[in-house]
Structure 1
Amino acid sequence: MAGAVAATGVVALTAALSVALVTAGSAHVVSQRVAAAADSAALAAADAASGAATGLPCERASQIGQALGVEISQCQLDELVATVTVVTTFAGLPAEASARAGPPR
């Protein structure tokens, strides 16, 4: 009987640890996805600002963000340099990333 209780405890502990590790891994994947979306949106905005792509810079960033499943929370232009902040949610919590793109100074 004591062995069954110990085995049940080990299985429960292993299951809890597995859930925690999967959640942490998923959070890392989401953070990388949000960072990549911010980079892509900033590049699109900078390209539009420089004339390398058509459209308005922040509208281009918004289109890219929408295609990547994030929302643009901020888009700023300083001459040809675009700074974009994107946000999404993971497990009910906000995940946010910012990126800047433009010509070298």
Structure 2
Amino acid sequence: MSGTALAAGVVAVAAGLSLGLAAVGGAAVTAQRAAGAADAAALAAADVTSGAVSSGEGACELAARVAAASGSALVSCTVDGLTATVEVRSAYSGLVAVARARAGPPNT
């Protein structure tokens, strides 16, 4: 009987650890996805601002569309000269990952 209880305890601990690692892994993936979305959104906004890309919409509108295509939501977008700064958020299991990115000419 004690062997069965020990085996059940080991299985329960292994299952708990597996679920915990899956949650941590999912959160890490979401954080990386948010960072990638922020980078892409900032680059898109900076490209529109500099004239490298012509678009019928404004820089921040395009940044919002790029962030949404990456599964994130644009929270803030500012354009200062040719430099664009954005903040995006992504959610995973009730947790929110926030990422910020800046794009523009070097040394600005």
Contact 2:31 2:90 in 1 (8 A): no
Query: Corresponding residue for 2:96?
Result: 94
C-alpha separation between the residues in 2 aligned to 1:54 and 1:85? Answer: 23
Query: Corresponding residue for 1:36?
Result: 36
CA apart distance, 1:70: 0.9
Unaligned runs of 5+ in 2: none
CA apart distance, 1:59: 1.0
C-alpha separation between the residues in 2 aligned to 1:27 and 1:93? Answer: 8
C-alpha separation between the residues in 1 aligned to 2:102 and 2:24? Answer: 27
With the length of structure 1 as denominator, give the TM-score of the two structures.
0.97
Query: Corresponding residue for 1:48?
Result: 48
State the SS of the aligned residue for 2:106.
coil
Question: In angstroms, what is the RMSD of aligned CA positions?
Answer: 0.7
> Following superposition, which runs of at least 4 residues in structure 1 exceed 6 angstroms of deviation?
none
Query: Corresponding residue for 1:69?
Result: 71
Identical-residue share of aligned pairs (%): 50
With the length of structure 2 as denominator, give the TM-score of the two structures.
0.94
C-alpha separation between the residues in 1 aligned to 2:40 and 2:53? Answer: 13
Q: How many aligned positions are there?
A: 105
CA apart distance, 1:86: 0.3
C-alpha separation between the residues in 2 aligned to 1:68 and 1:7? Answer: 44
Deviations, residues 50-78 of structure 1 (Å, cap 9, x unaligned): 00112311011011011111110000011
Deviations, residues 8-47 of structure 1 (Å, cap 9, x unaligned): 0000000000111111111111100000000000000000
CA apart distance, 1:92: 1.1
C-alpha separation between the residues in 1 aligned to 2:93 and 2:5? Answer: 33
State the SS of the aligned residue for 1:54.
coil
State the SS of the aligned residue for 2:91.
strand
State the SS of the aligned residue for 1:97.
strand
CA apart distance, 1:3: 0.3
C-alpha separation between the residues in 1 aligned to 2:90 and 2:31? Answer: 10
